[in-house]
Amino acid sequence: MSVVAYAHLNPLLDDPLPEDFWGTDITQIYCDQGDSDSERPQLQQLLQDCRQGHITQVQVRQFWELGATVEAISAVLAELSTWVTLQAIGADGGECVSLPATDADWMVLTSQIEAEHRRRRLQVGHARNRVKVLPPPGRAPYGYRRGKERYALDRATAPVVKDFFERFLLFGSVGGAVRYLGRTYGKRIAVSTGQRWLTHPVYRGDLLFQDGAVIRNTHTPILSRDEAAQIDRLLRRNRRLPPRTASASRSLAGLVQCQECQSNLKVASVSRPRQKQKYLYLRPIACGRKANSEGTVQKPCKAIAYDAVLDQTIAAVCRELPKAIANLNPAMPAQVRDQLQAQVTQKQTALAQIPTLLAEGILDQATADLRTYNLRSELATLEQQQSQLPPPNLPQLAQNLAQPEFWQDLSEAERRVYLREFIRQVQLVRDGPHWTVEIQFVF
């Protein structure tokens, strides 16, 4: 006499059950795999073993797993209830539920089974399209239209999305790019929508599915890989900055902090009466200097000319950046890059072998499609990790950035991009009327 379990798994929807799912009282597990309409040899074997009287109890996750139709399930339940005790423990292994005792309870169970079968049929249809790398259901994203098997560019709206990306790359502000769309094209979107556009894989030529998998290079991208990597860096950099400084026109905005009063410094524009010329200063936002230990009131930290701080910052970057990069361990990024490339090569080799295995009959079409989908999803994850690594030519790039002439040829917007790329904070160190700057790099 023994207690056994039965489960039916669809590889398109269900993950393999954990080894401890059924508990320790189960002596044998019968498991069929495939579509709901496929043959179920393990279920037939279970029925045969029950007829022989070797089994006392059968546990299932849900009663609807015992057949493809309500009629088939009713027949199996009627036969099993003749020989054994039947219990459903739920998909999460919760409280056990026995067969209904009244006709009203049977009607409720029948309606639940029919509803679950309808839901599973919809999920299977979506999963088959997902495995075939077809676009997910629903309306196409803004900038695209639905084609026969892939998204196609919408000539009317794709330029709007492209201009949005270019505006963000130029000024680094999501809100500013959103307002630009409203002024220029009359396209009004929320800032959260603009944020989602910047990070959504569909605009990079990839498909994102409900299970979180990303398949690369499925349709024409609006955003190139280099532009996408630059946007990711801009978004990471903006998260480190104080609010309302991401799109500031001045390159030092949000980077400078007074070491004495620990206040961030803002860029202030000052002009004289009846003169068009303006002067820029860095001024503490909230100076913390009030009184010393002796009770003497101290004057707030004075403002400092913006151009003088900028010149010293550039000089410090030219002097210290090559040293900071030289102190990095070059073997660590290279080792990670080699490991990721080895995994990419392995996945690509396995992906190239699938047509051969399919032709030899080792894999059927459904299994080959599912394996291809999983491999392409894993490749997308590895390639995304590769794109986030520091560039291998970082020492050579540091040598270019160490040239003062390089900084003089940049516009303020371009200078802002480079400074925020490498600098975490600029500390303003005061010594009476004199001051110096200390650079804190991001690495």
Please determine whether the domains at 3-131 and 144-239 fall in the same fold group of CATH. no
In 3D space, the residue among 346, 338, 305, 347 whose CA is nearest the CA of residue 433 turns out to be 305
In 3D space, the residue among 187, 190, 191, 186 whose CA is nearest the CA of residue 174 turns out to be 191
| Phi-psi label, residue 8: left if phi above 0, alpha if psi -120 to 50, beta otherwise | beta
**The CATH number of the domain covering residues in 3-131:** 3.40.50.1390
Question: For residue 417, what pLDDT is reported?
Answer: 78
- Look up the CATH architecture of domain 144-239: Alpha-Beta Complex (3.90)
pLDDT (tens digit per residue) in 86-124:
888 876 555 577 777 778 888 888 898 899 999 999 988
Hey, what amino acid is at 387?
Answer: S
Burial state string for 200-212 with b = 16 or more CB within 10 A and e = fewer than 16: ebbbbbbbbbeee
Question: For residue 219, what pLDDT is reported?
Answer: 94
Sequence spans of domains, the chain:
3-131, 144-239, 256-328+394-441, 331-378
Question: For residue 291, what pLDDT is reported?
Answer: 45
Which residues make Cβ contacts (< 8 Å) with residue 171, sequence separation at least 6?
177, 247, 413
**Spatial distance between the Cα atoms of 59 and 90, rounded to a whole number of angstroms:** 10
In 3D space, the residue among 392, 410, 266, 379 whose CA is nearest the CA of residue 337 turns out to be 392
Question: For residue 260, what pLDDT is reported?
Answer: 80
**Spatial distance between the Cα atoms of 337 and 425, rounded to a whole number of angstroms:** 28
pLDDT (tens digit per residue) in 281-294:
888 888 876 645 45
DSSP 3-state of 365: helix
Question: For residue 247, what pLDDT is reported?
Answer: 67
DSSP 3-state of 430: strand
Question: For residue 197, what pLDDT is reported?
Answer: 95
- pLDDT tens for the chain, 443 residues long, are 588 989 999 888 888 888 888 877 888 899 998 887 778 899 999 999 888 888 888 888 888 888 888 889 888 888 888 888 888 887 655 557 777 777 888 888 889 889 999 999 998 888 888 888 899 888 999 999 998 889 999 999 999 999 999 999 887 788 889 999 999 999 999 999 999 999 999 999 999 988 888 999 999 999 998 889 888 888 888 777 776 676 677 888 888 888 888 888 888 888 777 777 778 888 888 887 664 545 555 677 888 888 899 999 999 888 888 888 777 766 566 788 889 989 999 999 999 999 998 888 888 888 888 899 999 999 998 988 888 777 776 777 778 788 888 888 888 877 887 888 788 888 888 887 788 889 888 77
